[in-house]
Structure 1
Amino acid sequence: MATYICKMNQLNSIVAANLRRNGIRSLSTTTQKRTAASPSGQNIVLVDGVRSPFLLSGTTYSKLMPHELARHALLSLLRKTNMSKELIDYVIYGSVIQEVKTSNIAREAALAAGFSDKTPAHTVTMACISSNAAITTGMGLIATGTYDVIVAGGVEFMSDVPIRHSRKMRGLMLKANKAKTPMQKLSLLASIRPNFLIPELPAVAEFSSGETMGHSADRLAAAFQVSRKEQDDYALRSHTLAKQAEEKGYFTDMVPFKVSGVDKTVDKDNGIRVSTSESLAKLKPAFVKPHGTITAANASFLTDGSSACVIMTEEKAKQLGLKPKAYLRNFLYVSQDPVDQLLLGPAYAIPKLLKKSGLTLKDIDSWEIHEAFAGQIVANLKALDSDWFCKTYLGLNEKYGAPDLSKWNNWGGSLSIGHPFAATGVRLCMHTANRLVREDGKLGVVAACAAGGQGVAMLLERYPGATAD
């Protein structure tokens, strides 16, 4: 174990050195921390949260439906908190690639989990920050006094995504459905042409630009001069730290799942794979060929998974005898150019959140930032540490500075653990809350980019007496 930790320290040092060579500095960790106040005047708490193991799409979950994954998270949350369904006032779930049969998956999952049909539920979608949106929507409902106890979460199921007929074929089929006579139907069928049969396949692409997120990430990395080696080093760091955290039992938010029809219980994420720098360097570009730097190893993979958490006022938690994990102190969303700045949400959101909260980089003990691509992460760090970017786009007088890498995604991230689009936000919050306990920190920041050129940042504060179990 000592040798393993030594190698980890060496790897962190290599990554930090790479960043420093490109103008990114680390900050002192010895500053005095300040308490963050809730703008609403109410103390809203994250009581606890759970997630299913995150699995590569097309593996063990492949024969399920998405609401079954969400049902597992809901029931597991109730068991973990020892709460009855009757205490839940409202359920909010995020989902991005929606199953047509269960379009309001929050409602279908709640009913499948045995919640009362009198418990309202609705679904939100905001790409990769959908469960963040579910949480903050719940915070708003609590802050206005509308509800006391809310479950928020997200689910994504990439093993079975909707594939549509072409628009011409859809139009013809709708007309055929309205045809009154056999001859009318035959006439419509006779008008079918071979190109009508070409299906419309889903893609992780921007509607406004038509560009895939991978291409955007490659251009962003090139714009900020993020080398292939920097990206591979960061990806290796993510997988190594995730493996270390898994072995130490730190993923206490993950709840095993006995999948129907599968012999063994799923109790681990299956995308964590510690490789070598030499192996990563051999992989070919995945998007911009042959000169791109984004590969299958330094990009997040298509993932199936679900998550759920319960939030309420501190007063309500005390009434119920619950022990919260963290205060939900502040949040904001940002939007920017969805073409050239698609994945720069954290660079825009972090300075705004800290300014709004009266804090600085040195006040933050834990950073949990969504890893869409290694190049995206390093580009955001470089943007924050760039005089030109901060002056031109953030309206600052000088560079804002990059967070301390030693506090950054210390248990790995989406590159290694996986990224079910709508479920990741809850994982980020839970890892922040649990890391604050294990690392004896006070304040943590969650941030993420999302399709459409949007982003989020959230501020959490460790709850007195919180545990990481």
Structure 2
Amino acid sequence: MNDNHRVAVVGGMRTPFVKAGTFFRDISQLKLSSQAIKGVLERFELDPKMIDLLVWGRVLHDPFTSNLAREIVFDLDLPASIEAYLVSNNCITSLHAAVDVADFIRAGRAEIGMAGGVESMSAVPVLFGREASRIFLEAGTAKTAGDRIRTLLRLRPRHFKPVPLSFKEPSTGLTMGEHAELTAKEWRIGRAEQDEIALRSHHRAASATADGRLTAEIYPVLGVDHDTIVRGDTTLEKMAKLKPVFDPAQGTITAANASPLTDGAAAVLLMSEERARAEGYEPLAFIRAAEFAAIHPRDGLLMAPAVAVPRLLRKTGLTLADMDIVEVHEAFGAQVAFNLKAWEQGWKEEAIGTVDSEKLNPLGSSVAIGHPFAATGARIMTTLANEMARSDARYGLISVCAAGAMACAMILERS
């Protein structure tokens, strides 16, 4: 690594984030991705010939498009010389993409790169059972028409029943929401606290939409120019009417205090500091450092930020109090609450202190804005960098949990 190559966050753009099955239900991952990249190119008047690298991510895979990043290059008729590849690691996917681009820049292998991700929950693959899949495969590879027909005659009505895509953890058999319920009980996080976090998220996102801070990051698609999930008129009374989803008898997580299934894409533009200034771009912020962490799901599927953030602060010599803005991804209001509590009390790592609620997610976060899995990290990076520039903040912290009991923490800085 070359410490002289500081990695500048020049900016980012994204599509609106919309509830799955609505406005973008007929748009593919590829087309959503291309819209986010097109937004960056137009917003920053970037000549595509200057791009060295594109690292893109998704969580729900399309078997017909193995390297989505490369197909974006062709879909937008970008220079074929752009190196482009795909990454995937659940909700921290686009942070992985950004770290990869940053590593290329620090090593001197690239000067300008884009990172980001997409999720189309409206276009999840339709799966068939293993027995049906074997029959279809045998029919597809049959040497003669007769062999193909005989193979297909083995199909029965049961074979045509789709297998629903499961969001359960393969290692535990529980969904993320079920894990969050268990951890909320363990850390004694009540529903009132979760609803307060969700309410604040919606109200702040609504305010940031109305004053243009969030919409400035959005590239309109199909006439939609804002996030459609934000509910600025919601109240605690309205939230209290909803029933728990994952534990109907004793649960605290509802549709109101959990992030919704979302369609959207987000991209962030990164450059070496030298190249950014040479091209006339004023960096919004710089990537100071990033830290990934992984724990066992039995310790709390969404608890890895309680390890990643303290380690990152220790390695950089900074403190939680040094952070002017703290962006914590809101998979669930409960997850935000028990990670904040773990930072305050210490858990697997030493305590690092409390977060002032005024510093926490000042423009709202995933409960209100939405959570297209692989796009969330790039969305948070863009929002944080813009807000740091507006407020002339020195340090900003990102904390994102992920399925598989993993997390990523990142510090942006201005100087």
Instruction: State the TM-score, normalizing by the size of structure 2.
Output: 0.96
Q: 1:449 to 1:462 in 2, by over 3 A?
A: same
The answer to whether residue 374 in structure 2 is matched with residue 416 in structure 1 is no
Q: 1:185 to 1:252 in 2, by over 3 A?
A: closer
Partner residue of 1:211 out of 152, 174, 177 = 174
The answer to whether residue 270 in structure 2 is matched with residue 311 in structure 1 is yes
The answer to whether residue 179 in structure 2 is matched with residue 220 in structure 1 is no
Deviations 1:264-310 (A, max 9, x none): x1111000013111111111111112221111111000111111111
What residue in structure 1 maps to residue 106 of structure 2?
143
Q: 1:236 to 1:93 in 2, by over 3 A?
A: same
What residue in structure 2 maps to residue 21 of structure 1?
none
Which amino acid is the alignment partner of residue 385 of structure 2? A
What residue in structure 1 maps to residue 58 of structure 2?
95
What residue in structure 2 maps to residue 119 of structure 1?
82
Partner residue of 1:270 out of 228, 239, 245 = 228
Which amino acid is the alignment partner of residue 403 of structure 1? V
Residue 217 of structure 2: SS of its match in structure 1?
coil
Structure 2: runs of 5 or more not aligned:
none
Q: Distance in 1 between matches of 2:230 and 2:195?
A: 15
Structure 1: runs of 5 or more not aligned:
1-37, 260-264, 464-469
Shift of 1:194: 4.4
Partner residue of 1:175 out of 127, 138, 141 = 138
The answer to whether the Cα contact below 8 Å between 1:71 and 1:113 also exists between their aligned partners in 2 is yes
What residue in structure 1 maps to residue 118 of structure 2?
155
The answer to whether residue 190 in structure 2 is matched with residue 238 in structure 1 is no
The answer to whether the Cα contact below 8 Å between 2:319 and 2:352 also exists between their aligned partners in 1 is no
Residue 58 of structure 1: SS of its match in structure 2?
coil
Shift of 1:438: 2.7
Residue 435 of structure 1: SS of its match in structure 2?
helix
Q: 1:60 to 1:50 in 2, by over 3 A?
A: same
The answer to whether the Cα contact below 8 Å between 1:368 and 1:447 also exists between their aligned partners in 2 is yes
Deviations 1:393-432 (A, max 9, x none): 22x3xx3322222200011000001111111111111111
Deviations 1:86-130 (A, max 9, x none): 000111101111222222111111211121112121010011111
The answer to whether the Cα contact below 8 Å between 1:335 and 1:454 also exists between their aligned partners in 2 is yes
What residue in structure 2 maps to residue 367 of structure 1?
326
Deviations 1:8-36 (A, max 9, x none): xxxxxxxxxxxxxxxxxxxxxxxxxxxxx
What residue in structure 1 maps to residue 393 of structure 2?
441
Residues 378-457 of structure 1: pairs in structure 2 closer than 5 A: 378-386=337-345, 389-390=346-347, 393-394=348-349, 396=350, 399-457=351-409
Shift of 1:41: 4.3
Which amino acid is the alignment partner of residue 224 of structure 2? V
Shift of 1:155: 0.9
The answer to whether the Cα contact below 8 Å between 2:289 and 2:316 also exists between their aligned partners in 1 is yes
What residue in structure 1 maps to residue 316 of structure 2?
357
Residue 256 of structure 2: SS of its match in structure 1?
coil
Which amino acid is the alignment partner of residue 92 of structure 1? V
The answer to whether the Cα contact below 8 Å between 1:51 and 1:253 also exists between their aligned partners in 2 is no
**Residue identity (%):** 38
The answer to whether the Cα contact below 8 Å between 1:368 and 1:431 also exists between their aligned partners in 2 is no
| Alignment size in residue pairs | 414
Partner residue of 2:13 out of 50, 66, 69 = 50
The answer to whether the Cα contact below 8 Å between 1:433 and 1:462 also exists between their aligned partners in 2 is no
The answer to whether residue 165 in structure 2 is matched with residue 202 in structure 1 is yes
